[in-house]
Amino acid sequence: MLWETFRLAIQAIFRNAMRSFLTVLGIVIGVAAVISMVTVGQGSTQQVTADVEKLGTNVVMVLPGQDTMQGGPGGTADPMFTLRINDAVEDQIASVALSAPISQSRARVIFGNENRRTDIVGTDNRYFEAARWDLNRGRFFELSELQSGKAVCVIGETVRESLFGFADPVGETVRIKTLSCEVVGLLKSKGASTFGSDQDDFVILPIKTFHRRIAGNTDVSTLFVSVRDGASIERTMEEITALMRDLRRIGRGEEDDFEVVDMEQFATMLSGITDILTGLLSAVAAVSLLVGGIGIMNIMLVSVTERTREIGIRLAIGAQARQVLLQFLVEAIVLSLIGGLIGIALGLALAVLGANWLSIPFTPDPGIIMLAFGFSALVGVVFGFFPARRAARLDPIEALRHE
């Protein structure tokens, strides 16, 4: 009997295929919205976590104070760091595994007829280790190159693609400003970061080379600190702060002129924002599910009126009220489940596109898919019940007389 009812519902739905489709459109959009929002949201949360892991969860960055960031012309800039400060942090704090000094600016890199404006970073081999960069080709810097400030560089994948196409860059010579330097290594691609920036878009020089040939000073703009495994990041940050205050002679009561940033905290905060956004968008999507449900109720009511005579016939030949109720209820549920399934498919498709576009992993969540499926069934039950009850309560005599 239930199977018959189900078949009957399928028949009734496909008899009016166009109308059925328009009816479930609300559910389709609602479910698709929820699925795509949540899937993309979870993907970006995973991306944040993955980024942090690539970078190392044990990374702490030391930056000059906020004033530097906002200090346009006329603004007071906090002083930069020096190589000595970097080495002091590495040597004097036991829980620091290593600290890489970083200086950077932007410049055009030229090879043959190709050129690209990119980040020029001066650092040493400690940075590759702390930021977990691997080589695709060639090698990192040699000690002699670092000490003498030789004109060599290691480039990111994006720069290679832009300047060399598919050719091997190692051994070639590129020009940065007035500096002609030999490419000795190519890094393995890390892809886009959570913030959307391309992590592979840079050229790395030995810091001495950078200071002499590009910057014209010996400033260090960032300390990229790797904390020893098992050591407390929080404790290490406190120790770095204390040492930096001491080194930069900041008196009691004076504010720090630098910042110590913990990547893990940063990532947690970022994924927190993602979660809130996902929640909000999902709430909007849920409202559209509700509207979709009302659409189904509306069409089911129309259907009951249209099929009054059919209901009369069924009652006359011995259908009980609850069998008629079941018939219309099953029809509403099947209708919204079809909507739900289309919505899930569409939502996943949108999520694949979105994930591709945002360069984040596509991570379908079976839980959310089941929930959307269950919810569309619930919509069918809730919004199908009223029309179905109306059908079941029809008087067979009146119904048979209905034109």
Partner 1 sequence: MNEIPQIELTGITRVYGKGEIAVRALDGIDLTVAAGEFIAIMGPSGSGKSTAMNVIGCLDSPTSGHYRFNGVEVGRLSQDQRALLRRHYLGFVFQGYNLLPRASALHNVELPLIYKGLGRAERHNAAHEALRKVGLDNRAHHDPSELSGGQQQRVAIARALVGSPQVMLADEPTGNLDTKRSIEIMEVLQDLNRSDGLTIVMVTHEEDMAEYAQRRIWMVDGRIERDERTRKAA
The answer to whether the CB of 338 falls within 8 A of the CB of 25 is no
Residue from 269, 294, 349, 397 that binds partner 1 (CB under 8 A)?
397
Q: What are phi and psi of 64, to 5 degrees?
A: -60, 160
Minimal distance in Å, beta carbon 9 to partner 1? 13
Q: Say how many residues touch partner 1, by CB under 8 A.
A: 20
Asked if 368 and 38 count as a contact pair (C-beta separation under 8 A), the reply is yes
CB 36 within 8 A of CB 350: yes
CB 210 within 8 A of CB 122: yes
Whether 376 and 339 have beta carbons less than 8 Å apart is answered as yes
Nearest residue (CB) to partner 1, 143 versus 317: 317
Min dist CB 356 to partner 1, Å, is: 45
Near partner 1 by CB under 8 A, which window of 173-181, 191-199, 272-280, 305-313? 305-313
Q: Which is nearer to partner 1, 5 or 115 (CB)?
A: 5
The yes or no reply on residue 317 touching partner 1 (CB under 8 A) is: yes
**Residue 318 found at the interface with partner 1 (CB under 8 A):** yes
Q: Is residue 19 near partner 1 by the rule CB under 8 A?
A: no
Q: Is 322 in the site for partner 1 (CB under 8 A)?
A: yes
Closer to partner 1 by CB, 163 or 315: give it: 315
CA dist., res. 137 & res. 73, Å (int): 42
CA angle 231, 235, 236 (to 5 degrees): 70
CB distance 227 to 62 below 8 Å:
no
Does 387 bind partner 1 (CB under 8 A)? Our answer is no
Q: Are 347 and 39 in contact (CB under 8 A)?
A: yes
Told to check if 358 binds partner 1 by CB under 8 A, we report no
Nearest to 152 by CA among 164, 165, 140, 137: 140
Q: Could you count the other beta carbons within 10 Å of the beta carbon of residue 203?
A: 23
Q: Which of 66, 323, 359, 363 binds partner 1 (CB under 8 A)?
A: 323
Of 294 and 397, the one with the shorter C-beta distance to partner 1 is: 397
Q: Is the torsion defined by CA of 143, 247, 99, 218 positive or negative?
A: negative
Task: Compare residues 4 and 53 and give the one whose CB is closer to partner 1.
Answer: 4
**Residue 337 CB coordination number (10 Å):** 18
The reply to whether 311 sits near partner 1 by the rule CB under 8 A is no
17 binds partner 1 (CB under 8 A): no
Q: What tokens appear for 403 in the block?
A: 């034109």
Candidates 314, 337, 372, 379; binder of partner 1 (CB under 8 A) is 314
> Per rule CB under 8 A, is residue 310 in the interface with partner 1?
yes
Residue 106 within binding range of partner 1, rule CB under 8 A:
no
Tell me if 10 contacts partner 1 by CB under 8 A: no
| 312 is a site residue for partner 1 (CB under 8 A) | yes
Using rule CB under 8 A, residue 252 touches partner 1: no
Smallest distance, partner 1 to C-beta of residue 290, A: 33
Q: Smallest distance, Å, CB 325 to partner 1?
A: 12
Separation of alpha carbons 304 and 327, rounded Å: 11
For residue 312, give Cα distances in angstroms to 5, 9, 232, 327: 17, 17, 77, 14
When the beta carbons of 229 and 403 are compared against partner 1, the nearer one is 403
CB of 320 to partner 1, least distance (A): 4
Is residue 393 within a helix (H) or strand (E), and if so which, with residue range? none
Q: Rule CB under 8 A: is residue 302 a binding residue for partner 1?
A: no
Distance CA 161, CA 149 (A): 26
By CB under 8 A, name the binding residues for partner 1.
1, 4, 15, 309-310, 312-323, 396-397, 400
